[in-house]
Amino acid sequence: MKIICRYIIILCLSGFAACMAAKNRKTASYYRENKEEIEALRKTYDQLYNHQPFSAGFTDKSFRYYVMEVTTDSLRYIFNSEKNRRQLGEVIKRFQYDTTALRNLSNMLSDTKCLWLSKSSFYVDGQRETVTYLSFNSATTESPFVENKYYILIFLPHPITHPDIKKRIQKGDLIKIDELVYYTIGNRYR
């Protein structure tokens, strides 16, 4: 009987912790508080991306092992530092990335606990727009009982005032931080 009671208490506490965690989500203030680090990260990424497009991030909660997806016109290479370290090194060498900048980027990614860093494109009146996005865990707490939601920062290259974008802001899909920075909470981090 005691054991059953203990399990019930643990379950209740877990549920309570999960509910509490879900309330402590990152908002616009998270970006403002970490603006300097995030902007430095984005600038380094843009510099490396212009050399050869790629996405990068982590696949583990400890932020020890990272993944890099290098994209060419017809091929995408996906390697991680946990199990394909040699192949990852080969790809970095083949595309002649600035390894110092790449090292700085990896440090900044882990310092800010950024899960994924990439670019995405969409069309506004037939014109292609490309935005940079950074994904983080959406909860501010480190509790293990956190729902799987992600805080995604979106950086626009210039202000977009198209009605479609305004509609998404009104619906609450996109939340404005400033003229060029928005965030959303999503189920997928990449």
Partner 1 sequence: MLISNTLLFRALILPISIFSCIGRVNAQQSFVSDQKYEAYKKRNQQIAIEEFLKLDTTSGSLLWPNIDPVLFFSNIRQNIISPDKINQGHATNFCGYAAMTHLLIKYHPDIYLDQIIKLYRNGSAPLKKKNLDPSERVRNAAGTLKNKGELDILHADQLWFLSLADEFKGYINIFDHKYHPGDENKIWAGTNYAKFNKMLKEFTDDYLRRKGSDFIRPMTGDFYEYISKQLELGIVLLYVNSKHLYPHKFSLFKLRAPTHFIVQYEMYKVGDQIMFRYWDYGLKTEQLIPRKRLRKLIFGITTIDPQTGS
CB of 182 to partner 1, least distance (A): 14
Are 153 and 133 contacting, i.e. CB atoms less than 8 angstroms apart?
A: yes
* Residue 133 binding partner 1, by CB under 8 A: no
User: Could you say which of 41, 48, 115, 139 contacts partner 1 (CB under 8 A)?
Assistant: 115
Q: How many CA atoms lie within 13 A of 13 on its CB side?
A: 8
128: Cβ contacts below 8 Å, ≥ 6 apart: 121, 122
For 143, phi and psi rounded to 5 degrees? Answer: -60, 140
Tell me if residue 184 falls in helix, strand or coil.
strand
Q: Which is nearer to partner 1, 5 or 34 (CB)?
A: 34
d(CA 150, CA 23): 13
CB of 1 to partner 1, least distance (A): 29
CB of 10 to partner 1, least distance (A): 16
* Residue 83 binding partner 1, by CB under 8 A: yes
Residues that bind partner 1 (CB under 8 A): 34, 37, 58-61, 63-66, 71, 74-79, 81, 83-90, 92-93, 99, 102-103, 106-107, 109-113, 115, 120-123, 126, 137, 148, 164, 189-190
